[in-house]
Amino acid sequence: MEVTFRVIGRAGWGGLSRGFCAEMLQSLVKNVWIPVKVYCTRVYQEIWVGTGLMGFTVYKIRTADKRRKALKALSLAPAHGHR
C-alpha cells in the first residue's frame, strides 16, 4: 500500500521512476529472495545440476536442428542455381 501511494505522488516516466524500481527490487528481495535463499543455494543444488543438464540437452537439439536446416537449404540451393 505504502509503495502504491508513493507512485501516485511521484512524477516520472509513467510512474516507473528509478526510485520506484529500486523500491520494487528491495521489496522483491526482502519478501521473495530472502525466504527462498536457503532453498535455492543449499537445499536444491542437485536440481540446478538437473537444470544444467536439461539446458545442455536443449542446446544440443537446437544446434542439431539448425545444422539440419542449413544442410537442407544448401542441398536445395544448387538445384535452384542450375535453373
With residue 22 as reference, give the H or E element that holds it: helix 18-28
Which residues contribute to the site for another protein (CB under 8 A)? Answer: 36, 39, 43-44, 46-47, 49-51, 53-54, 57
d(CA 19, CA 7): 10
CB of 27 to another protein, least distance (A): 13
The angle that helices 2-9 and 18-28 make with each other, rounded to 10 degrees, is: 170
Q: Which is nearer to another protein, 10 or 57 (CB)?
A: 57
Q: Which is nearer to another protein, 54 or 76 (CB)?
A: 54
CB of 42 to another protein, least distance (A): 9
Q: Which is nearer to another protein, 19 or 48 (CB)?
A: 48
Could you tell me if 28 and 20 are in contact, meaning their C-beta atoms sit under 8 angstroms apart? no
